[in-house]
Structure 1
Amino acid sequence: MKLTNLILALCATLMMAAAADAQRGGGNRSLTLYSGLNFTGESVTIRSDVVNFQTINFNDRAQSIRVEGAGSWTLCHHANFRGVCHQFSDDVGNLNPFQLAGHVSSARMEYDAGTGGPGGPGSLDRPRNGIVLFEGHHYNGASVHIRHDNLNLMGRNFNDLARSVLIARGEAWEFCEHANYRGRCITLDDDTRNLGPYNMNDTVSSVRRVYDSGRPGGGYPGGGYGDGSLTLYSGPNFTGQSINIDRETYNLTRQGWNDRAMSLVVEGSGSWTICEDEGFGSPCRTVSGRVRNLDAFGLGNRVTSVRPEGYNDPGYYGPGGGYGPDGTLTLFAGPNFNGPSIVIDRETYNLTRQGWNDRAMSAIVNGYGEWTVCEDANFGTPCRTISGRVRNLNAYGLGNRISSVRPEGGGYYGPKSGVWR
């Protein structure tokens, strides 16, 4: 009799544990998507990441969703988790307010609260990587998962909405009150239930990773991860030879890449315009994220010129900033093209007259050509010759030490001229 009672007690305990595990999600986590509002119409249930809903015949059909089990799911406009994305941990009877109704093309399982999922046992539901911003305190309300540097959260429909944030283990992120990492910024390396004490409630407009212990050579700054540059590949699906481009390029012939690209990756946020003819001659297409085959845009082995979008907006690089005319030099007071800036279009023996002696921490040579930058007035050594984009002049031993500058090649580089005048 005692043995029978013991067996019954053990069975009851196991059943209770199973019920608790089911309530937490356990191994029974799923997402059900419905073609109609309020969980009506045809449906499909997934239990793992789906990178392209065309494979399950449900692309751009979902109007409502049910979330089963613990944790959350991220739903995105485009395949491969690109475009507008939102994270959900509860049922949603209408995806319209999130701009996802009839536009879901990929979905990803995020984390498993307290059940030993990616966040770890007893974790605070941290994402696997990146950050999750919430519109409410204590991780409540609508949310968005950010994995790469984002210079303007308006693109994710989350500008000035964040009130709390979850941060992946080993990562630190910078949160800024204005787009393009301007205005007041703070750096956080742990989950924050309330951004109020930092005076950042409903204020965050741009975010970027400043440290990632799990990504050797990656993160920001210095690793090139998510830096907005363009990588072209000679083969489809990111195969073959490749080239990384970080500036407007009127003709890829000089780089040996005219009519060679078959796939590309836009690193981090932002977009690029790619054109068939030199000088951005049409046809052109604007791309972002990862393009596995440029034949889809009619530009396989036909790209001749490329340019980043948004870089010429007034003030893009801060007060007085942005690109200058081709061949000029733009100096910035902060690294990574931040802070006040000045555009210089001629040989300058002493930057003191411009109020820029020993102030520059980063620089851009606009267009083609090179500039020599020197530590002392009158081009006194040490000097370095630079081109393109220099994110931190400390790499040349000249951070906050430049006193004179001059263009190389004999003169001013006229707008879109292609030659020195």
Structure 2
Amino acid sequence: MCGQRFEVRGDVIDATPWELQETISIRVVRGGWVLYEKPDFKGEKIALDEGDIELTCPFEQLQSGQQEENGEPRDEKKSERRFIIGSIRRAVRDYSVPEICLFPEENAEGKKVVFRDTSEDARIFGFPIKANSVIVNAGLWLVFAQPFFQGVPRILEVGGYPSPAAWGVEQPYVGSLHPLKVVIYDKPYFTGKSRTITSNMKDFMTRTDPQQTVFMYNVGSIRVLGGIWVGCEKEGFRGNQYLLEEGEYHDWRVWGGRDSELRSVRIIQADLTDPLMVMFEQPEEEEGVTEENTFEVTEAIPDVELFNYKASTRSIHVLSGAWIAYSHVDYSGNQYILEKGFYNNCADWGSKDTRVCSVQPILLIILYSEPDFKGESLRFHHHQGALPDTFTTRSCRVVAGSWVLYENTQFSGDTYVLSEDDYPSLASMGCSSSCSIRSIKLVPMTLSVPSISLFGLEGLEGREITVDTEVVSLVREGFSNHILSVRVNSSSWVLCEHSKYRGRQFFLEPIEITNWPKFSSLQTVGSMFPVRQKRRFFRVKNGESGHFLSVQGGVEEMKSGRVVVSQEVDPSSDVWFYQDGLIKNKMAPTMCLQVMGNVEPAAKVVLWSETRQPIQTWSAEMKGPCSSLTFPGMVLDVKGVRRTLSLQVV
């Protein structure tokens, strides 16, 4: 680690100008990296994991003097062999479960074989897998032609490899493979013996392989290179559980342990988007009591008793996403990691009693104290009204959803709205170099057609501008940017001081601002955009009966469909989605929910072609009525009697 130093924080398209000696030393401080033989990430590749390594001209490039006319090379002393790197790419970028698909034919044809974990012997009936094409959906994979990781591996990143030549082989056979994931150390601060873990491990304290020279008596520190893992106090995934996300845990206090005891780990294999969980309350021991109280959860709940739910839970059904349940309020006490499935009793989720006081989905935003995702980190799954005074944000990763960052505590001050992406610096987040983030908020899910009105006078009067889509520049669109009052009619919006979304930002949910200059200290609005959300599937439930809105009958030749509220439904007939204001059924995506006949109380709704006029649009929140935007004052209801409706994301 001596001599001239090159520090790399991101991708390098062309590193050939670097003057390097024949042998160089490399220290990978964080993440997974790939060295390429040629610029633009082409040619042979070398994978680098975290740690120190010394390399000598791995690409065997020889830079020598020109040959003489007779074909004889000049004196060897005039030939100089040096290390040449073509390009560098950071390979570990996401938090997905690693997945690689192998196909017997080119262009992803034929029956695929899928791997999500390490396979030291991937042979089928004694023969390596033929892989004329490969698709890597997540992770950085080392692929070996022979079993038990023998031979030179091929390094495959996320993407498609339509032919053997695309992933650099002549004989497209796979005998073993594994992703790079987690490193554990037997001493604090990443010292002592280390061991890489790439799949679920029931007990990493026991020597299971006679050839394994590195085995652990205890865990002093952990580096998570990718994925979201659960660390367990005892072998076999038992005992106290600890959530381990990407980052560094220099001792047991950082991962929230009671002590340094940690014996097993497993990876969370779940889609973290659109979380939904149903909790079933423990009934009181009274004769004749048959009614069961259930609690449908789609967001973080700091205290379940605030929602008229007792802290004693009989069973839990996780329908989607991954969740953390806590034994105490405000996300404290023992934690239990819940993946998709049904937990019949407290023993199923790893607890000795039925006490569950707070819950939160694993929806991450990660703040870092240094640029390029370095330094200390803070991870959040829900609103945070005040960040620690000692922490300064310099970079950020948004794993799921859209988040609002505020310069003051309790969601006040200048705002910055970030969607799913990596933000390696304050500038990439839209912040100034002196910006200090003090609170954050998750943008709630809403189903509504975006709409905002800007007014030329105070009190929502004067010239009015109403738009339902982004505006890059009000002036360029022919409007005056002199605004004195604002009304957000629906959805969430971001108003920007200057055109092209520059300058100060203001995150606004439905609100009436009668004096915009007083509210914002600005006389103008340069540009604006609605916070758009991904398409989500949901069910519509009647609060009184507990039945679901569904389509009756088949839809193969459906020109119009009868819509009913029923307990027993055909698969997918009660699954809906929202698109541009229309409520559509998953079984009939070309049709939408519409009122037939005269628009009056108790008029029936049916599925009908979306080309029918007038176009009927709706808005809804997670709990409450589904309101008609086309006919103000009308709501979706059961038999004309106003009931509480709730949406369940599926």
State whether TM-score is above 0.5.
no
Relative to its length, the structure with more helix (as a share) is: 1
Instruction: Identify the structure with bigger relative contact order (alpha carbons < 8 Å, sequence gap 6+).
Output: 1
| Larger CA Rg, structure 1 vs 2 | 2
Relative to its length, the structure with more strand (as a share) is: 2
TM-score, normalized by length of structure 2?
A: 0.21
